[in-house]
Amino acid sequence: MAKYSKGFKFKVVQEYLKGNLGYLLLAQKYGIPSPTPIKHWVRVYKAFGEEGLQRKTRHEEYPVQFKLDVLNFMKQTGASYQDTAIQFNMNHPSLIASWNSKFLKEGEEGLKHPKGRPTMSKKPKVTSIKSEETMSREEQLERENELLRLEVAYLKKLKAFRENPDAFLEKHKQQSSLNLKKKDSD
């Protein structure tokens, strides 16, 4: 897939939000093979603002427990990769899809192996992430509570959207613009 600059993505998203052209027409206008990236950019922009359109320059590693929590949330709620990514403040749903396929093929072990070659450091890595076995019962319950809170929040938003999609989208459009104004004033 072609890589697009942050400025280009922002320009396309702004044109879509003005309401003159839909996803398909914008894709045709700018020579993008499919409208899917534009849909993704619009959703990411609405969730994270302009920073969501920025391409990550450094590789972020996620602990195995976080990956399991994300996959568990997605399974319990039936959320899409995109919705799950937004819920966990990630802007690359393809990463979650990759975790899911690794988990289905290899189980939890598949999530433990880092991608690519190991670094050439002389110092041994010290892992500060607690595995579920070493977590106290209280910490396990706190993690479970947090997952349940996320699930309830997601289900509330889903219910509100299903009941009245137009009002839900309008409300979130207003919140996005308020967040953008806040960021601009900082």
Residue length, the chain? 186
Cβ contact 64:114 at 8 Å: no
- DSSP character at residue 78: T
Give Cβ neighbours of residue 9 (< 8 Å, ≥ 6 apart): 41, 45, 53
Q: Is the pTM of this model over 0.85?
A: no
- pLDDT value for 2: 47
| 11 sits in which H/E element | helix 6-18
Q: What pLDDT digit, counting tens, does each position of 2-12 carry? A: 478 878 888 88
Q: How far is CA 4 from CA 23, 47, 99, in A?
A: 16, 19, 25
How confident is the model over 161-184, as a mean pLDDT?
Answer: 64
155-158: list long-range contacts, CB under 8 Å, 24+ apart.
155/77, 158/77
Q: How many CB atoms lie within 10 A of CB 71?
A: 18
Q: What pLDDT digit, counting tens, does each position of 106-140 carry? A: 888 888 766 666 667 666 655 555 555 677 888 88
